[in-house]
Chain A
Amino acid sequence: MFRLNWRLTPFVGVVCFVTSAASSSGDALNVRVEPHKSTFFVGEPVLITAVVTNPGSEPVKVFYHNAPTLAPDPPSIVDLLFGADELHVEHWSDGLRKVSKMGPKLIAPGESVTIDLVMLFSREDGFFVKVPGTYWIQGRAVIASSPYVEVLSPPVAIEVREPSRVDRSAWQWLDAHKEEYGRLVQTPWEAKMSDEFLEECDRLCSASQSKYVEYLALFLSRSYREGPKKDAAEAGRFADIAKTKASSEKIRSEADKLSRAVQPPLSPSAIAQSEVDPEIRIAVAERVEGFGSALTSGRMDECASALSEDFLYNGALDKTRALAELESEFRKVSGGVVTIRVDSFSRGPTVDEVEVSGRYMIVAIGREPSTQTVRWGLRREGSRWVIWRWDRAS
């Protein structure tokens, strides 16, 4: 009881401060949070986009928090407050990550920082919502001044309902496995799941029309990509399921990101030296780099010789057609000088794919130079490699 009174008293004061300050143009920071939708079933994760903006003319230092970010890095400069009404929101933590002391982050004047967060489960309290109703979420940033200043976002309400008939059985199963489900959603990069849990998730994703499937698929894809049990094929398969089942733009875009390249881009030499599939290493080192350097030089004849019979363009069956298509991409401006530069190679959505980012500069007579970014992809199909325009691939 004492603790509750203590929590409320200062907090109401903070709310008043922020409310009154929010209309002022002299705010040091603006904080805003937005859930990916407004109505949920119990046990549905809430993906929250937090935006912190420095509208002033001076840089502002803010503290980092151990908030439930969607990815381990970067850490969040916003933490979440949650409660059953607007005035009784409390700090919410998932208890799944360490609390770290870090140096403050500097936000430049005019800069906006976006943070993706997710709320579902906490180790101490279980699901963040257990009873249907209306709940409130706020974001909080703390300015590292002396004394420090808390800045709260306007609170946003979400409505939480009982699962409908089709979702109920899935929900009951997830409720019985809440810790595994919670860890999968909130820390997929380190979640260690039992075979039984994975099998049932797989069955649900394949057979169920439940609302929970889109989340299971999305986070299973992430876990297979980033977690201890890496499996590129499974990561791709679940990303596709998540895309198909997505009921909101946020889930669709997260699934889409997973089905595209999400690994940090690597240079050709990085790939050549990295622990990726040895066949990629060989291909990049012996073939693709030659192809890349030919592109860099802009000499299509060298490009042709660099491409072995194994490389086909857009699934075309012969090299002649492949190169013709490549050339047509590069010579859209007749009479111009074409300079092509390959910027980077990166891992594709699966370990069997490589993304090639490049740029060609067209300097045409009588026209301003222009640059355009193009992306190529290399995909292993059986024993051969296929190159295609990445931005057309899907």
Chain B
Amino acid sequence: MNSDAPGQVDQTKADAADDAFTGKPGDFQGFKVPLTWSPMLTVWRKLHVEIDSMGSVAGNQINTAFTDIVGTGTALTEARGIDTIDDGSANLDREPPGNGRFKNGTLTVGTVPSTITISPITANGNTKVTFPTSSIAGLPFSAIDNDSYGNGTMSGTITQVTKSGDNFVWTLNVTAQNENPIDWPDFVNGTLSVGGGSNVSVVAASAATSRLTTSALSIPCVIHDDDDDTLLPKSPDTSTLAAAFKPTYVVPVYDVGDNNMNVPFVRNVPEDSAATLTIQRWNSRPQNASGFWVAYLLAGFQGQLSRDRDPDTELRTLGDTVDPDGGSLIYLEIHQSHEGVGNPAAEEQDTVLHETGHAVARSPDEPVTDGSSTFNANYVNRIRSSPRPWP
């Protein structure tokens, strides 16, 4: 409850104001008896906010292998022949083309612990990634000859790989072998594995140049986009909610729900409203009523795939609320500076306010805030006259 200072009507001032207005002194007939204003009563409402977060980011990378290259091992510009990495975003193979989901991401070549990271990826197609000239020299290799038993083996690192027609020629720095001297010709029809990848057939060998030629290439790799996988779990930033709701006579309190910080992770929440509702874990939803206002905030990772800024030419969905079922999602990955947001903290606060505003005002109308964590006049009025939050 709020009270304004009580006051009493000043008859002299009222008469003077009337005289000035009408130009007829003494004609005012109002307020001839003393009148006392009551204190103004304002009904404040509590908004019970349940806060959840998706659990840790999982599976936001592709573990695959490339089977072809453009350039050489020390001047590599493209890794090709990858199992499809098309996620529907505009990429080099689409029309109109785009830079693909993995732009600004990383390509980690080889298997742990001997990996080489290439960054940034400049673009991807359905089966390839491109990047500034890079080197994969230094990747470990192991080779075995074609004997039935008592095989000759050698291992070390590669110093170069080049394409020769359909074949690949590997220059090797041998650091270990089980025969001395190495019987290079015996490795023909044997196999070579590079970076922990699949064995590929050796078709030629040269002791003079320390080279093996293979009929194929298969190097394991991990492709990751520019997302920050450490963002979840985390509660959305509600620090400006109380101040923003004050002009609407609403006090947010955080006393409902189970504060579930391990809601199953979904990399991209689809546009589909029904699907979004199934992602929510809004326990306090049944409590929402005109006499007990409840709102729900769920920290998520990214909105629908075509609006997750992967690549960075896409639109961004910062948050959304299901109309008219309620429940709001705040997409933390989209609020980061690497996604082009100038002030991530302020943007996240504004998004929390924006989505809560939609839900409490029961309105899809835009805009909601003035962009700096204050409801605009339209929403102040809508929230003041709302019967309860969605649904």
Contact = CB atoms under 8 A, between A and B. Distances in A.
A, B: real partners: yes
B351 A101 contact: yes
Contacts of B95: 264-267, 343-344, 346, 357
B371 interface: yes
B126 A6 contact: no
B319 interface: yes
A380 B324 CA distance: 45
A388 B265 CA distance: 47
Contacts of A144: 367, 371
15 contacts: A3-B385, A72-B271, A79-B365, A91-B363, A98-B321, A99-B321, A99-B323, A100-B303, A101-B368, A103-B315, A190-B271, A266-B93, A270-B86, A270-B126, A357-B95
Given A97-B273, A267-B126, A142 B367 contact: yes
Contacts of B84: 273-274
Chain B, interface size category, equals 35 or more
B188 interface: no
A63 to B, nearest CB: 5
A75 interface: yes
Contact of B271 (A98, A274, A357): A98
A45 to B, nearest CB: 20
Given A142-B366, A267-B126, A93 B323 contact: yes
B319 A101 contact: yes
Nearest to A73: B306
Contacts of A72: 271
A146 B369 CA distance: 11
A64 interface: yes
Interface string A64-85: 1110000011110001000000
Closest 7 CB pairs of A and B: A265-B95, A100-B320, A267-B93, A98-B320, A99-B364, A273-B84, A270-B93
Contacts of B358: 99
Given A265-B95, A266-B94, A95 B324 contact: yes
Nearest to A273: B84
Contacts of A99: 320-321, 323, 355, 358, 364, 366
Given A100-B317, A101-B320, A123-B324, A65 B366 contact: yes
Nearest to A346: B95
Given A66-B364, A102-B307, A269 B127 contact: yes
A273 B94 contact: no
Contacts of A75: 315
A183 to B, nearest CB: 10
Interface of B: 83-84, 86, 93-95, 125-127, 271-274, 276, 303, 306-307, 315-324, 351, 354-355, 358, 363-368, 370-371, 376, 378, 381, 385
A123 B366 CA distance: 19
Nearest to B316: A103
A148 B276 CA distance: 30
Interface string A1-23: 01100100010000000000000
B166 to A, nearest CB: 16
A366 interface: no
Contacts of B272: 190
Interface of A: 2-3, 6, 10, 63-66, 72-75, 79, 91, 93, 95-103, 123-124, 142, 144, 146-148, 190, 264-267, 269-270, 273-274, 343-344, 346, 357
Nearest to A90: B365
A73 B314 CA distance: 11
B64 to A, nearest CB: 12
B362 to A, nearest CB: 9
Contacts of A357: 95
Given A100-B318, A273-B86, 16 more contacts: A64-B366, A93-B323, A96-B273, A101-B351, A102-B317, A103-B316, A103-B318, A124-B324, A142-B367, A146-B371, A147-B370, A264-B95, A265-B94, A269-B93, A274-B86, A346-B95
A55 B324 CA distance: 36
Contacts of B370: 146-148
B367 A6 contact: no
Contacts of A98: 271, 273, 276, 320-323
Contacts of B271: 72, 97-98, 190
A10 to B, nearest CB: 8
A351 B53 CA distance: 40
Contact of B364 (A93, A142, A147): A93
A106 B241 CA distance: 29
A286 B354 CA distance: 53
A148 B303 CA distance: 26
A147 B61 CA distance: 42
A147 B377 CA distance: 11
Nearest to B372: A146
Contacts of B371: 144, 146
Contact of A269 (B125, B320, B322, B355): B125
A223 to B, nearest CB: 14
A102 B324 CA distance: 19
A44 B274 CA distance: 25
A29 to B, nearest CB: 15
A217 to B, nearest CB: 24
B364 to A, nearest CB: 4
Contacts of A74: 315
B385 A6 contact: yes
B150 to A, nearest CB: 42
A116 to B, nearest CB: 17
Nearest to A96: B273
A343 B307 CA distance: 27
B172 to A, nearest CB: 32
Contact of B381 (A6, A123, A142, A269): A6
Nearest to B125: A269
A344 B125 CA distance: 14
A270 B94 contact: yes
Contacts of B365: 79, 91
Contacts of A344: 95
A285 B163 CA distance: 22
Contacts of A274: 84, 86, 126
A267 B95 CA distance: 7
A344 B95 CA distance: 7
Contacts of A2: 385
A2 B381 CA distance: 10
A66 B322 CA distance: 11
A344 B355 CA distance: 41
B301 to A, nearest CB: 15
Contacts of B94: 264-267, 270
A242 B349 CA distance: 48
Contacts of B317: 100-102
A233 B358 CA distance: 41
B323 A95 contact: yes
B318 A102 contact: yes
A73 B303 CA distance: 13
A101 B276 CA distance: 15
B355 A101 contact: yes
